[in-house]
A and B are shown apart, each in its own frame.
Chain A
Amino acid sequence: MSMSASSESPALSAPVVCFDGKSARSQAATLSVEGTDLVCRDEAGVELTRFSRTSVGVVDDGIEGPSRILTSTQQPDVRIKFASPDLAAPFLAWSAKPAGRTRLAAKPRILALAAVGAVVAGFVATKAIPLLATPITAMIPMSYEVSVGQELVPYHVPEKRRCTEAEGLAVIASVARQLLASESVNPPFTVYAIDNDEPNAFVFAGNHLVVQTGLIEHAPGPEAVVGVIAHELGHQLHRHAMRRMIISGGTKFLFGAIFGGLTPESVATMGATQYRLRFSRDAEREADATAVRLLNRAGFGTDGLTAMFRRFAELRGEPHVFATYFSSHPLEEERIEALERVRAPAARPAMTDREWAALKALCRTRGDASRS
C-alpha cells in the first residue's frame, strides 16, 4: 500500500479482491483513489468498478476474521475485499462523510408521519373504540356476560367480607325488584352486601348488584340508598360493565400496538385507564338519567338520590383542581343540578322502618346471596 500527503486526493492504493456485482467470480485487483472516487482495476489496468467516496460502506465489520469487505451504497452489489482491516483503514478514514449529512432530510417526514399517527391513534382511542363498543356489547349474548360475571364474583364479593343476614339482603332484592318492575331483565339480579366502609354500591357483568355497608352507614335515609341502587341498576341496564371491559381491552390493545411488544404494561394501562375514565363519566350521566326513570316509575321520587349526592359532596370536601379530569364520576354538584332539573317527589316511602333497620343490621353475621 502507498499513500501521498495530499489531503484532497491522496494517492492511496492497496491490493484487493474485487467482486464487480455482475458475477460471483473473484478478481485480483488494485483499489486506488482517483479524484473523489474509489476505483478498482484489474492487473491489466481495466476498470472493474468505481464509486464515490461518500458512498463507501462496510459489509462485514470484521466478523469474518482478519479480512475487511467494503461496498458502495451507489452499487450495493459490489464487494471489495481487503486481506486485513489495516489495509482498509486509510480508505475508510478518507471516505468518512462530513458531519451533519446523515439523513437529516428524512426527519421532518418521520415527524410528520408520527404526528399523523398520533392524531389517528387519538381518534381511535377517544372516538372509534367507545363508538364501536356499544354495538359490540349489543352483539355479546347475555349468557356469555353471565359466565364472565360468575368468574368475577370471588374478586368483587370476597367470601370473608360478605354479609349474610337474609332479611337485609331480602330488602335489597325487594328494592331492586320494585325498581325493575317495568323492565325486562334476564337473568334476575343477584344481590350482595359486603363489609366495606366506603359509601358505595356497584354492579358487575352478569346482573350482580353489590351494596357496601359504608353506603348504608353514611346514607341520610333509606331513600338515599334506594336512589344509589337505582343508579347502579341503570348502569347494568345499559350494560356499562361489559362496554367498559371492551373499551378497556381495545384501548390497551391500541396502546400496546403503538408502543410495540416491549410496552411496559403500565404505559398501556395508563393510556387505557385515562380514556376509560372519560367514558366512565359519560356512563355515570347515562346511569343517572336511567335512575330517575326507574325511581319515578316505582314512585320513590328523585330526592333520595339528590340527598345522597349532597352527602357525597360533604364527604369529599372541596374538589381538587384536577378532579374533573381524573375523577371517574362527574362532580356531585353537576349531578345534583341535573337532578334538580327533573325533580319528582316521592309518592310512597322507599321502605318500612323495619326494612331500614334490617339494612342497617347487615354484616353482623355472614351468609349467602339472594335472588331478586
Chain B
Amino acid sequence: MRGFLYGLPGIALLAYLASEIIDGTERLLLIVPAFLLFLYVYQVAIYAAYRYRLSRTRWRGIRGRLSGSAWGYGWRVGLMGIANLATLGLLSPLADRIALTYLMNNVWIGNTRGTFSGSAKNLIGIHLLSWLLFVPTIGISRFWYVAEVQKFQYNNFSVGSLRFRWTQTGPSCAIFLFVNYLIMTVTLGFGRVFVTLRNARIYAENLKIVGDIETAAAQLSQSTEELSKSGETLAEIVDVDVSFF
C-alpha cells in the first residue's frame, strides 16, 4: 500500500506530461485529474510527514504520536482546498479550522491525546481585514492572517492539563514570515538554510507550555504504541516541508 502511495505523485506527473502532448478538450481530462491527484497526495504527504516527525519528538523523554488517517486528512483538506480555491480564498478560516481540528485532535504526547478547541470565528475578522488590505499592501497583509493561524493553532491546543501558548504578536509574526519569504525569493531559494534556522529559533522562543507543568507532566506517561515506520519520503517526493513543535 505504501509503495502504491509513493507511486501516486509519479502517476500525477505522467498524466500531466501526457496532457502536454494532447490537444483539445481531452487535455483537460488528464490535467484536471492529475492536478486533483497531486493536491490529494500533497496533503497525504503532509500528514504522513507530521506523523513521522511527532513520533521522533520527545518532551521530557515522552514520545509524541499522531493517530488518525493520512488518507482521511488528505480528502478533507483537499476538498476544502478546492472549495477555497473556487471561492478565491473566502473559505480560508473554515479550511484552516477543518485541517487543524483533524490534525491537532490526533496529536498525542505519550498516553494523552490532544484537544483542539479553535473556532473559525476567531479567524474571520482578521481574514476579512487582510483581504481588504490585500491590494493596498500588495498582498503583505495576508502574512498577518497566516501569523494569526499560527497563534490559533497553538492557543487553542491542550494535552491533558498542559496548555500551549504562542507568545509572538500577530504583526511581529507577520513581519517574521514576510522576511522569510523575502529571503527565499531574493536568494532564489538558496537562503533556505537561514529560513530553517529562523523557524527553529522562533519556535523555541515563542511556543510555551503554560500552567502547572509538574502536575500536568506527572499525568503523562510513555505510550506503548510502536513508533511510526513511515518516513518522510512522500513529503520529499512532493517537495513539502512541515514543522510542528
Residue total for B at the interface (Cβ-Cβ under 8 A): 19
B91 within 8 Å of A by Cβ?
A: no
- B61 and A141 contact, CB distance less than 8 A: no
- A23 and B21 contact, CB distance less than 8 A: no
B245 within 8 Å of A by Cβ?
A: no
Q: By CB atoms of chain B within 10 A, which of A23, A26, A77, A140 has the most?
A: A23
B192 to chain A, nearest CB (A): 11
- A23 and B214 contact, CB distance less than 8 A: no
- B221 and A24 contact, CB distance less than 8 A: yes
A20 within 8 Å of B by Cβ?
A: yes
Closest to A144 in B: B21
Q: Which residues from B are CB-within-8-Å of A21? A: 61-62, 222
Q: Which residues from B are CB-within-8-Å of A22? A: 221-222
Q: Which residues from A are CB-within-8-Å of B214? A: 25-26
Restricting to A51-110, which residues have a CB under 8 Å from any CB of B? 63, 71, 77-79
- A23 and B62 contact, CB distance less than 8 A: yes
A108 to chain B, nearest CB (A): 24
Q: Which residues from B are CB-within-8-Å of A196? A: none
Q: Which residues from A are CB-within-8-Å of B22? A: 141
- B217 and A26 contact, CB distance less than 8 A: yes
B107 to chain A, nearest CB (A): 15
- B60 and A79 contact, CB distance less than 8 A: yes
Q: B214-233 vs A: 1/0 string, CB under 8 Å?
A: 10011011100000000000
Q: Which residues from A are CB-within-8-Å of B61? A: 19-21, 24, 71, 77-79
> Which of A24, A71, A141, A144 touches B59 (beta carbons < 8 Å)?
A24
- A25 and B218 contact, CB distance less than 8 A: yes
Q: Which residues from A are CB-within-8-Å of B59? A: 24
Q: Which residues from A are CB-within-8-Å of B212? A: none
- B60 and A24 contact, CB distance less than 8 A: yes
Q: Which residues from A are CB-within-8-Å of B220? A: 23-24
CA distance A47 to B176 in the complex (A): 47
Closest to B220 in A: A24
Q: Given A26-B214, A26-B217, are A141 and B60 neighbors across the interface (CB < 8 Å)?
A: no
Q: B55-92 vs A: 1/0 string, CB under 8 Å?
A: 00011111100000000000000000000000000000
CA distance A24 to B216 in the complex (A): 9
A143 within 8 Å of B by Cβ?
A: yes
A56 to chain B, nearest CB (A): 15
Q: Which residues from A are CB-within-8-Å of B109? A: 24
Restricting to B183-235, which residues have a CB under 8 Å from any CB of A? 204, 214, 217-218, 220-222
- B21 and A19 contact, CB distance less than 8 A: no
Q: How large is the interface on A (under 10, 10 to 19, 20 to 34, 35 or more residues)?
A: 10 to 19
- B58 and A77 contact, CB distance less than 8 A: yes
CA distance A343 to B100 in the complex (A): 77
- Total number of A-B contacts with CB less than 8 angstroms? 50
Q: Which residues from A are CB-within-8-Å of B222? A: 21-23, 77
Q: A127-140 vs B: 1/0 string, CB under 8 Å?
A: 00000000000001
Q: Would you call the interface of chain A mostly helix, strand, loop, or mixed?
A: loop
- A24 and B21 contact, CB distance less than 8 A: no
> Which of A24, A140, A143 touches B23 (beta carbons < 8 Å)?
A143
- A77 and B63 contact, CB distance less than 8 A: yes
B110 within 8 Å of A by Cβ?
A: yes
Q: Which residues from B are CB-within-8-Å of A143? A: 23
Closest to B109 in A: A24
CA distance A350 to B151 in the complex (A): 82
- B21 and A140 contact, CB distance less than 8 A: yes
Q: Given A21-B222, A77-B222, are A26 and B60 neighbors across the interface (CB < 8 Å)?
A: yes
Q: By CB atoms of chain A within 10 A, which of B20, B22, B60 has the most?
A: B60
Q: Which residues from B are CB-within-8-Å of A144? A: 20-21, 23
> Which of A25, A71, A78, A141 touches B21 (beta carbons < 8 Å)?
A141
B130 to chain A, nearest CB (A): 33
Closest to B236 in A: A261
Q: Which residues from A are CB-within-8-Å of B23? A: 141, 143-144
CA distance A25 to B62 in the complex (A): 10
CA distance A79 to B222 in the complex (A): 13
Q: Which residues from A are CB-within-8-Å of B204? A: 63
CA distance A212 to B22 in the complex (A): 34
CA distance A124 to B74 in the complex (A): 34
Closest to A20 in B: B61
B218 to chain A, nearest CB (A): 4
Q: Given A77-B58, A141-B21, A144-B21, are A24 and B63 neighbors across the interface (CB < 8 Å)?
A: no
A371 to chain B, nearest CB (A): 23
Q: A12-34 vs B: 1/0 string, CB under 8 Å?
A: 00000001111111100000000
Closest to B63 in A: A77
CA distance A143 to B22 in the complex (A): 9
Identify 8 residue pairs between A and B in the complex whose beta-carbon atoms are under 8 Å apart, listed by A's number: A21-B222, A23-B220, A24-B110, A24-B218, A25-B217, A140-B21, A141-B23, A143-B23
Query: What is the interface of chain B, defined by CB distance below 8 A to chain A?
Result: 20-23, 58-63, 109-110, 204, 214, 217-218, 220-222
Other than the given A26-B60, A77-B58, A77-B63, 20 more pairs (CB < 8 A) read A19-B61, A21-B61, A21-B62, A23-B62, A23-B217, A23-B220, A23-B221, A24-B60, A24-B61, A24-B62, A24-B109, A24-B217, A25-B214, A26-B214, A71-B61, A77-B62, A79-B60, A79-B61, A141-B23, A144-B21
Nearest 5 A/B pairs, CB to CB = A24-B217, A24-B220, A144-B21, A24-B60, A19-B61
